[in-house]
Amino acid sequence: MKFNIITIFPEIFDSYFSESIIKRAQKRGLIKIKTHNLRDCTNDKHKSVDDKPYGGGPGMVMMVEPIFKAISALKKFEIRNPKSETNLKSKFSKSKTRVILFSPKGKKFDQAMAKRFSKLDNLIMICGRYEGVDERVAKYIADEEVSIGDYVLTGGEIPAMIVVDAVTRLIPGVIAKESLNEESFSFKKEKALANENYEYPQYTRPEVFLPAGRHGGKWSVPKVLLSGDHKKIEEWRKIS
């Protein structure tokens, strides 16, 4: 699966994507991550990506043209397709490509969306900055607007990292199957209980931790986890 990220700060991604599971997934050819500097899609000598809002108001707005150019370069096939000449939305295309625009007013990102994205061949992400993005990007270019939560960030770069991370671990071969199975089990539980607790509590050594400076303090692992009784452990995990 390919992740294409359109941003004016491509360096932001270097550190996170060159560590741990995401690094290994790239090395093993399970995913490809490419960042594209939006400033490379500009014509003027200042490499402008934003301009003043029509109708007035504070701040700057990201322009549609550089984003159009960036997406066009990544979706060559779709643009040659006459059906999509005036509208780049992927629903006109058979390829498993999706273009998302990060925005606080988008649909909330969740595990179901991560699962849906993990079945794609190519996820193109547009990271907005400044006070906003020309609405024509949402209207004509992006297939969907995605928010990672009800708060306003300074840009879409952290949301892009979150989406790459959550989607990558669902791609077959990236992490051990058992971890995913366990998770889907707890996920069913999570749905049934309609709470936000995706995982049961986990413990590792030591069995008893004596925190320094706390007289008589004793932090113990629940006894059931030491019992070796797998049925009981399963029951306990269901209710914890």
Helix (H) or strand (E) holding 137: none
Tell me: does residue 148 bind ligand ADE (CB under 6 A): yes
Tell me: does residue 59 bind ligand ADE (CB under 6 A): no
Nearest distance in Å: CB 208, ligand ADE: 42
Dihedrals φ, ψ of 138, to 5°?
-70, -35
Nearest distance in Å: CB 98, ligand ADE: 16
Q: Which C-beta is closer to ligand ADE: that of 54 or that of 151?
A: 151
Compute the CA torsion angle 33, 11, 146, 193 (nearest 10 deg): 80
Nearest distance in Å: CB 13, ligand ADE: 15
- Options 10, 147, 161, 163; binder of ligand ADE; rule CB under 6 A: 147
Q: Which residues contact 96 (CB under 8 A, 6 or more apart)?
A: 119, 120, 121, 122
**Alpha-carbon gap, residue 166 to 198, rounded angstroms:** 13
Tell me: does residue 151 bind ligand ADE (CB under 6 A): yes
Work out the angle at residue 65's Cα, subtended by the Cα atoms of residues 63 and 68, and round it to the nearest 5 degrees.
Answer: 115
Tell me: does residue 105 bind ligand ADE (CB under 6 A): no
Q: Which C-beta is closer to ligand ADE: that of 64 or that of 175?
A: 64
Tell me: does residue 153 bind ligand ADE (CB under 6 A): yes
Tell me: does residue 149 bind ligand ADE (CB under 6 A): yes
Q: If you ran DSSP here, which 8-state letter would residue 235 be given?
A: H
Tell me: does residue 217 bind ligand ADE (CB under 6 A): no
Nearest distance in Å: CB 166, ligand ADE: 13
**Alpha-carbon gap, residue 173 to 162, rounded angstroms:** 19
